[in-house]
Structure 1
């Protein structure tokens, strides 16, 4: 049972959530996009949001700046969050500029805002749950897609909510976060996505 709970935190690690949101968008959007464009975007985003952070993590671990992939202390979080902010800006400038796929552009604007808030809180010694930030952002983006395209996505939204519940349970069981840190994390992920709705809905 303990192995299963630990695996939930690992399988639904925050670094996969941006790509999950993008895959969800491409799978639900009625807008036609050439297959090669979709593949190019997914490959670029996978490199920048998954592979690059993993490589940077191992570099930081080698030089003694981090101890765990879960970034258990606020001090460990500061450099990775700064790097995440830089990666988000790079994505917005080079991979998803505003004149291409407007929905994904503002999805990453929301992610950028969440990262900045989380960074500020880490500097202030508050450890909001990055796991909850990530899944909450995807949930709110999925709601936006449902409204934007007038599609019934209740099944997908229910699945995302179940995943969020499983992640919260896992983080509590592992004593990685308090209830307050999980709740703060959820709203830090959700509210920025809600704020940018006015620009693309």
Structure 2
């Protein structure tokens, strides 16, 4: 039973959904007026680019024999998906979240880009950091920054995010997907770029 729950946590809080979760939270909490049509267009575009497209690219890579499973168990398997993800994020920055429109989201995705590049760099050196922890810790830091930026009380959300972050880490350990070191480094890679980039928009 516990094994099934922890396995489900890894799927529910998959790294692919984390960027969209951050954007949804931003639009939900932003005090400025944003037309619903723009919000809908941005969310649909981001869903296509950050979730649907990576899934299609994964199946393409699997067909080509570049990856064996969705778990990307080896560092070698991670290289092509991470490179493609870098290109997707660059496309998002160029077309979807320009700094003149949504500076908070722009730097959120710049942080995601830096984290992805760091993960790719480590993969080249045969180190397998936790992408789950990179994603969840990056979004967690973004939530904290938004609460300060918009001067809103989201203590309940932050407490829930703490629990989720712990649950994701526990899940990855239980499934023997990562070591403590890989989880800690993943958390740092996800959190640190968002923390540094806060200086440009907070």
TM-score over 0.5 for the pair = yes
Alpha-carbon shift at residue 104 of structure 1 (Å): 0.3
Alignment-derived partner of residue 149 in structure 1: 150
What value does the CA root-mean-square deviation take over the aligned residues?
A: 0.6
Which stretches in structure 2 are left out of the alignment for 5+ residues? Answer: none
| CA distances 1:65-114 after superposition (whole Å, capped 9, x unpaired) | 11121211100100000001101110000111111100000000000000
Q: How many residues align?
A: 201
Which stretches in structure 1 are left out of the alignment for 5+ residues? Answer: none
| CA distances 1:132-163 after superposition (whole Å, capped 9, x unpaired) | 00000000000000000111111111111111
Alignment-derived partner of residue 72 in structure 2: 71
For residues 27 and 98 of structure 1, what CA distance do their matches in structure 2 show? 19
Q: Counterparts of 1:38-187 in structure 2 under 5 Å?
A: 38-187=39-188
Which secondary structure does the structure 1 equivalent of 2:68 belong to?
Answer: coil
Q: Please give the TM-score of this superposition, normalised by the length of structure 2.
A: 0.98
Which secondary structure does the structure 1 equivalent of 2:72 belong to?
Answer: coil
For residues 133 and 143 of structure 1, what CA distance do their matches in structure 2 show? 16
Alignment-derived partner of residue 16 in structure 1: 17
